[in-house]
A and B are shown apart, each in its own frame.
Chain A
């Protein structure tokens, strides 16, 4: 496995090997699936759309719908205006969504299609909507595209009437439906009237009830996106993912926002709850304190099995930072922390955490890839890998246990239903980590050392 990867690290300035990121449109498509009765639309050639749908379907094991402008060479030369027009007409005709969310691809971006102008020129029936955002794949990553699409919805739909509705806007980072569900549960426990955009729960974790529905009951409603303009505050969960849309809402409707880390682990969840409490003026209920106490209980019971163990974490910036924060709280050493998404803020934040927990010899890098991570590991090993499916090659090559967390997870089931956020999510992640490390201990120990009680 990965036999061609040399230990010796050479400088690379052009070649990306085994990336830890992908392109903007897939993030935009995911965000659009979190809007009720929305058809994500890929303005470009149909290959991109096919790849993105395939990828999302492989991660969620649920249908990910989206349409394409199906560019041919002609459209690439003369522009895709007429393709988009035909597409929008056909989509409303055949698939009957309430809203079409257009994102671009490298193709339509490179030829400079003015999608906004195309949409303005369209005849759109009352009560139906077409929105768009730009998602050039040669900038940022799927994380950027996710933020851009949310901003696109806000730009087109959110309105400020001048009268506060007292509701709290929540923009979750690029997380699973299981996480969005958990965030909503916490918000409900806090008795907060909120609007969450996007919300893929009930869409990409839709139940099997015996019939297929194209638009399952989940997703943020158009009405609610409009109402976001009247909320007094937006919480952007995931500073490196959600600032763009939060900022767009501030620009358009004057809604203040706060960027928080994804509520993963103890402190980040604490911070989230305290924000909720200060927003609502309500105490944090016992139910949540109980969960926090359970998490603390577990950490104090099980520390011998993870304390001081070295871990490599890779994936999307806010998720990786969230996991890093949890493993530091556990007393583990986040030896290598990488994301494929560019942006130095990631490295700075990771290094701040290292400093706060006084761990030394840890490396953080943005715009990194799994090839480089593997080379680092070849030079100095870790005890555990945490991230998406692609790390399994390294895990196999180096015989290191792996915990799957984040995106994309193409090779396991159930993950998308389960949270990583909140205290409950932290409990789950701690269990996954413990099982991986303890199974390994059982597997590797001598017969006489096999412990019945641990």
Chain B
């Protein structure tokens, strides 16, 4: 299926190394629309929205701020730290959005399992439902991310299966 010219142009920007090193799509050969659709579906299956996930990530980043790069206990068994570099990075979507070059590392105290994201990742997930392509440097698997953050949705995976319960 043909993509709209804006979408095709966007995909080209995302594949190129123009905004971040190695681009945002990694080794993923699927068209952009398909990547987004698949990840969005994964999120809906869990009864969640991308905004909610991004909101939680932003909360954790905010909790880490003010401690200038040292570990902070963020509650819920998570520790976070945020490291920041000077400068701004722009969103590849054609709209004015700039993010700080800030990297948040979160770790589960009991397992030691850790995840890393940047302010740009939060924006991309929250505003564009874009979790990046396979093997991109900051790709986040929706399911793994949701488990890690300990978020639970309104519907379980079972009822969201083939016929999801409609929203009231």
- The answer to whether A and B belong to the same complex is no
